[in-house]
């Protein structure tokens, strides 16, 4: 692995870029600078419907003041041509989880503004959740039953 030592000027430019770019991905309603297709209420309603249809855990946060808007959400990266990444405006709707020994933090549903549909989910760390990497209640029971069996053997 090659290390790269940045000059103070290079580091300052990176920090400046991040500070300028970050707000467009986490805008509160009063900070939105582009025209939207969906209203905040419509984005929340779409997220609620998706949440119910897919039987997801938790409760959709219906407070518009907790809603965030992302003017340039990256739905898909094109590794061969980064200029052709799929980037569109999106609403970030939080889903609150009940206190639980296995699920510690909330997650976010991503509602595409121009498509008027839920296009994805972010875990508590902001990483996209894809099909197949979610832990179900049955998985948790299986994991803990194995731990209980090990304790009983000891």
Share of the chain above pLDDT 70, in %: 71
Q: Flag whether pLDDT at 135 surpasses 70.
A: no
Beta strands in the chain (DSSP E): 59-60, 68-76, 86-96, 107-112, 117-122
User: What's residue 133's pLDDT?
Assistant: 46
Which token pair is 42? 């419509």
Model confidence pLDDT, tens digit, residues 48-103: 999 999 998 889 999 988 898 988 888 888 878 878 888 899 999 999 887 766 65
**In whole angstroms, how large is the CA radius of gyration of the chain?**
20
| Rounded CA separation 113/127 (Å) | 20
Q: Which residues of 58-81 are buried (b: 16+ CB within 10 A; e: fewer)?
A: eebbeeeeebbbbbebeeeeeeee
Q: What is the DSSP letter of 5?
A: P
């Amino acid at each position: 692995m090659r290390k790269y030592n940045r000059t103070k000027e290079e580091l300052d430019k990176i920090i400046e870029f991040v500070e300028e770019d970050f707000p467009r991905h986490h805008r509160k309603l009063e900070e939105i600078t582009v025209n939207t297709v969906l209203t905040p209420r419509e984005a929340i309603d779409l997220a609620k419907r998706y949440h119910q249809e897919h039987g997801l855990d938790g409760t959709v946060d219906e407070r518009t003041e907790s809603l965030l808007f992302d003017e340039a959400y990256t739905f898909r990266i094109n590794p061969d041509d980064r200029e052709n990444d799929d980037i569109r405006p999106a609403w970030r709707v939080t889903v609150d989880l009940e206190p639980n020994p296995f699920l510690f933090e909330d997650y976010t549903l991503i509602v595409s503004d121009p498509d008027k549909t839920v296009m994805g989910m972010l875990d508590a760390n902001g990483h996209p959740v894809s099909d197949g990497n979610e832990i179900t209640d049955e998985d948790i029971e299986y994991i803990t039953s194995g731990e209980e069996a090990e304790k009983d053997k000891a």
